[in-house]
Structures are given as C-alpha cells and as structure tokens.
A and B are shown apart, each in its own frame.
Chain A
Amino acid sequence: MTSPAPIAEPRETPRSDPAAVPALSIEGVSHSYGPRRALMDVSFNVQPASFTALLGLNGAGKSTLFSLITRLFGIQTGHVAIFGHDIGENPGEALRLLGVVFQPRTLDLDLSLTQNLLYHAALHGISRREAAARSAELLTRIGLSDRAGSKVRDLSGGQMRRLEIARALLHRPRLLLLDEPTVGLDVKARADIISHVRQLVTEQGIGVLWATHLFDEIVAGDDLVVLHQGKVLAQGPMSRVITEAGAQDVNTAFMRLTGAQTMPGGSA
C-alpha cells in the first residue's frame, strides 16, 4: 500500500448511503479445514452492476470462498452478506438474490435442458407456468431453444456452461457468482460466455464475481481482488491494482504481488 491512486474512486462511497449497499460484502472471513487455513481475514465488496474478478491460482481459496458465500459451508469467522442479508442469519433472503455457476458441472445429464431449468425453478418456488415461460425465454437468449427437449448429455461443454448460466439467472438474481466458468472451453465458447456475462452487468445491472486464474479475461474497468494462499493481496479497480504493484499489466502485477508473498523476506 504505497501511494494512493490518482484516479477518482466513485465506488468507494460511504456505506451509510443506501445506494451503496454492496451486492456482496465479505468482512473478515477466515476458514480452516482442521489445521489447514484456507482463508485468512478476507474482506472485499462486489458492487451492483460491476464486474469483479477474483484472481488467484489453483488452491488460492477461491472455491472455499464460493462455498462459504453459497452456504455450502458454515462461516467460521467473519460475515458474508448479499445485498445486506447476512448469509448466516438470513440465508433464505440472501440466497434468493444469488445466482451461482460452480466450477464442476452441476446439470442432470439425463434430463432435458428444459427439465433442468424447471427443476431449478421449483427449488426456488417459482410456479410451473412462470418457470416454463422464463425457461423458454432464457433458452432463446442463449441460442439453445431448438435443443430444449434434448438431453443435456448431448450438449458441448460451452453449451452446458451457457445453460448453467441461464439456469443461474432463472430466479432473477442480482448477484451472480461464477467459479472459473471458462475452464476447459475452446476460444470461441470462452469469448461467448465472457461477453454474455459482461452484457448482464451493463444491461441488467447484475453484480458479478468472476473467479479465474486467466488474466486475459479481465479488462480495464473491472474490479480486481487478488487472492493468494488464502489472503487478499490487493483489491480495487484494475488500473489501481496495477499501478500500486508498480507494474504495466495485470500479469506482471499479479506475479509481483504473489512473488513477494511466497519468497520469505522478499520486498513488496
């Protein structure tokens, strides 16, 4: 934390302003698996209508963090809130506003696309008729309406991901989490998914937390959280993170930040 960023920070408005309720707020979260500490005092916010990239190598603690936000694990220390609803105290209201795409595929391969969507809608208490209408609309949007009745098993990896994103949007969440959604996809499928999600941010004002270890998925204007060995090393708008690390690009900034951590006695 050397010199303050020269750029104006419109997003860091005081928290008392109601307009500034973060889509996701993580405060002082630590998590251990027995003796192994997976997360250490992690704090950051994701604002509505913003694209926040959670950057970290494999094993940095990204998936643990996702499991905590989605209540798959109980929170040991700290607080996680979605639009002000604490996930521990009021999980129903918090999860209602949350859409999530996990890294492992979570579709029913033997069911059709529509059946997968209807099942998800039922889990959110959305009536059958409403669910059918929304499913049809979303399938059209992701360009798979002609495949509505086929089994998910017959889809390509990219199509499955698109379906998973559509599914995550079915209950109209205002925060979307994606855990390395482009892993294993070809270049075109990757580009499709990234542009689709960015559209959601700009057109629908959804707050997005996108976990990745691929630097080329981040663009100027994104918010960045650098997670390494369970700790947040840097956060803020991408340009500021790069400047503060004294680097020219994300790649170098990331290497400097994490290199300084891994080498004992290394200077930041």
Chain B
Amino acid sequence: MSSITTQDAPRGFSASEYMTCLTGIVWREGLRFLHQRERFVSALVRPLVWLFIFAAGFRQVLGISIIPPYETYILYEVFIAPGLMAMIQLFNGMQSSLSMVYDREMGNMRTLLVSPLPRGFLLFCKLLAGTAVSLLQVYAFLLIAWFWDITPPPSGYLTVLPALILSGLMLGSLGMLISSGIKQLESFAGVMNFVIFPMFFASSALYPLWRVQEGSPYLYYLCQANPFTHAVELIRFALYGQVNWISLAVVATCTIVFMIGAIYAYDPSRGLARRGPAGGEG
C-alpha cells in the first residue's frame, strides 16, 4: 500500500498546531465554566462553609501546637485553609471526571477523541484545562479568606501556584482515571462516597497528623498513605514559601501514575473498547 499513499505523505503536526489545540481546549473549558455559574458559586460556598462555620466551631475543641511550616501559634482557620484549597481541587477534579462521563454519554467526548492529534496529548490538555479552572476557584477562595484573617505572606500567593498546578493535575488525572471506569452518570454518588469523602477525611486537611496518631495509629498510617494528604501538605508548605519534599515526591509520582493510567484507560484498543457501544448503537 505504500506506493499508493505517496499523494498523502504523512506530515505530522507542528508545534503551533499542538499549541492551538491546547489553547482551544483550555478556552472551551473556561467558557463552559463561566456558563455554569452555579458550579462556580457552589465551588466557593463549599469551602467557605467549612471555614466560616466548621472552623469557628472547632476552634475551641482543637488546639494546634506550633508545627512546620507555621512559626507561631495559629488559628484553626489558618490551619485548615490549605486543606480547603485542596478540597476545591478534589471536587473540581471529580467534577471534571463527571463531565467526562456526561460527555461520553452525550457524545461530546467523541468530538475530542476524533481529533487527529495524539490522544495522550488531548487528554493532557483536558487535564491542564481542568487544573486552570481549579486555580480560578482556589484564588477566588483565597481572596475571600483574606478578609477572614487567613493572611499568608504575600509571596506565598505566588509560591503556592506550582504546588496547586501539580496537585490539580494529580486530582484531575485521578478523576479521569475513575471516569474511565464509570459507565453511567448515576455512579457519581458512589464517587462521592468512596473517593471524595474518604480522601478528604483521612487526610491532614482538617487535623494535624500528630493528633490523628494519638487517637488511632492505623488511621495515621492510612492518612500517610493517602495522596490527598500530600497534596494538602504540599500546598500548606508552598503557601509559606517552603517545599515539603516528601509530599512533592508523592504528589509528582501519583500524578504520573494516574495520568499514565488515565491515558491507558482511554486508549481505543483497551479502555473504551471493552465497554461495548458508547451512545446510540445502530
């Protein structure tokens, strides 16, 4: 057949075509997000409820000693702020996965997957787009929290950015990996129960791990093994201009593993193929 194909010699794709594709996907995700105002509001209200109500109530119950990266005694609100930032990204990652299930059921996913660019690249763009949306949400939260006396050093707003990008990618790719295994939208309630809640509560988002260790050593080990704990700690340290190297290593490794898993799961000859006809079979 090779002699026949001379008229259409493969020309591959240029760097600018890749860039156009990436910006197009991020742009579309941003537009969709702006159109779903309820999603933005609920993404903001959720952590604010925790901050204004839960933290205020819990302040007296839980004493926080001086632990790195904090150099003084801190209010409980200050302690849980990084956890809530990670929570925003956790929800956003799972919500993106929900929208991928929705897209797949509705057929929108096909528009993306029939693009001639490599599928791994397309999914990576999708992850970056989801992460960009989560950054908008986190910074909006930080702005409001500032008025609630959550005032990290000004440079912290900048140093936390790479941490947020990495944790956003990790949670997004986890969501994408999960979405490849979900057949229907209804299963999202299961994701809430079995992924979001355990990940959030069995982590250092709400309580320092040394307190957990006092209560239950087993829970402590579970929290240590939870990638979400490390996303929280990475963000917490970065917000104060420091690097938690262990957390960085865990988050980076998990990001790579989840991302490879998600790309593998969306490979046409494996993931989706096993699942029978998608959408209207004719």
Q: CB within 8 Å of B: which residues of A?
A: 15-16, 18, 21, 33-34, 38, 56, 58-60, 62-64, 67, 70-76, 81, 83-86, 88, 90-98, 100, 102-108, 110-111, 115, 118-128, 179-180, 211, 213
Instruction: From B16, B20, B111, give the contact of A106 (CB < 8 A).
Output: B111
Residues of chain B lying within 8 A (CB to CB) of residue A38: 277
Residues of chain A lying within 8 A (CB to CB) of residue B53: none
Q: Are A123 and B112 in contact (CB under 8 A)?
A: yes
Residues of chain B lying within 8 A (CB to CB) of residue A81: 1
Residues of chain B lying within 8 A (CB to CB) of residue A100: 110, 114
Stretch at the interface among B62-70, B177-185, B230-238, B263-271: B263-271
Known: A92-B118, A122-B21, A122-B27. A71 touches B113 (CB 8 A): yes
Residues of chain A lying within 8 A (CB to CB) of residue B278: 67, 72
Residues of chain B lying within 8 A (CB to CB) of residue A18: 3-4, 6-7
Instruction: From B10, B13, B24, B116, give the contact of A121 (CB < 8 A).
Output: B24
Known: A18-B7, A63-B282, A84-B4. A73 touches B273 (CB 8 A): yes
Q: Are A92 and B117 in contact (CB under 8 A)?
A: yes
Instruction: From A15, A75, A94, A115, give the contact of B31 (CB < 8 A).
Output: A115
Name the CB-closest residue of A to B275.
Answer: A33
Residue B193 at the chain A interface, CB threshold 8 Å: no
Q: Are B8 and A93 in contact (CB under 8 A)?
A: yes
Instruction: From A59, A62, A123, give the contact of B117 (CB < 8 A).
Output: A123
Q: Are A125 and B13 in contact (CB under 8 A)?
A: yes
Total A-B Cβ pairs within 8 A: 161
Q: Quick one: which of B215-274 are within 8 Å of A by CB?
A: 267-270, 272-273
Q: CB within 8 Å of A: which residues of B?
A: 1, 3-8, 10-14, 16-18, 20-21, 23-25, 27-28, 31-32, 35-36, 106-108, 110-118, 122, 267-270, 272-273, 276-282
Interface-central residue, B17, B20, B27, by most chain A CB under 10 Å: B20
Q: Are B8 and A84 in contact (CB under 8 A)?
A: yes
CA distance A58 to B280 in the complex (A): 10
Name the CB-closest residue of B to A90.
Answer: B10
Known: A74-B270, A84-B1, A122-B20. A97 touches B8 (CB 8 A): yes
Known interface pairs A70-B114, A104-B107, A125-B16; 17 further A-B residue pairs with C-beta atoms within 8 A, sorted by A's residue number: A18-B7, A34-B276, A59-B282, A71-B114, A72-B272, A74-B270, A83-B8, A84-B4, A92-B13, A102-B107, A119-B111, A122-B23, A123-B122, A124-B17, A124-B115, A125-B117, A179-B282
Known: A91-B116, A92-B13. A106 touches B28 (CB 8 A): no
Known: A72-B272, A125-B17. A119 touches B28 (CB 8 A): yes
CA distance A119 to B122 in the complex (A): 13
